Amino acid sequence: MKIIIEPHTLKRASERGASESEIFDVINNGLEITARFNRLAKVKIYEYNKQWNNNFYKQKRIEVIYTKEDDNIVTITVYVFYGEWE
């Protein structure tokens, strides 16, 4: 399946601290989670150990919301959360 990353997703990723390569990684290797409005979602937790907005975080959790259209995966948006999960 081809992955199409919409411009809106890239804009949100930039604002929230995720990269395009992380979006591909989450879709290809992340765990499926429940999403609203009959959409699909995957999540992956990354070791971070850096500062974000003047706070230090051990990990970041990236969630990608997407749909399947024909033989394509089309992203809708991406959420990034900072903290510690594992």
- Mean pLDDT (whole number) for 44-51: 97
Burial class from Cβ neighbours inside 10 Å (0-12, 13-18, 19+) for residue 38 reads: exposed
pLDDT of residue 70: 92
pLDDT of residue 38: 86
Asked whether the beta carbons of 46 and 59 are under 8 A apart, the reply is yes
Q: Is the pLDDT of residue 74 over 90?
A: yes
The model's pTM: 0.94
Q: Is the pLDDT of residue 39 over 90?
A: yes
Query: d(Cα 41, Cα 33) in Å, to the nearest integer?
Result: 5
Regarding the domain delimited by 2-83, which CATH topology (the fold level of the hierarchy) does it fall under? YaeB-like fold (3.30.2310)
Residue 83 CA: distances (Å) to CA of 37, 39, 42, 70? 27, 25, 18, 36
Domain ranges of the chain: 2-83
User: Comparing 4-8, 36-40, 72-76, which segment has the lowest mean pLDDT?
Assistant: 36-40
- Mean pLDDT (whole number) for 54-81: 96
Q: Over the stretch 54-67, which tens digit does the pLDDT of each residue have?
A: 999 999 999 999 99
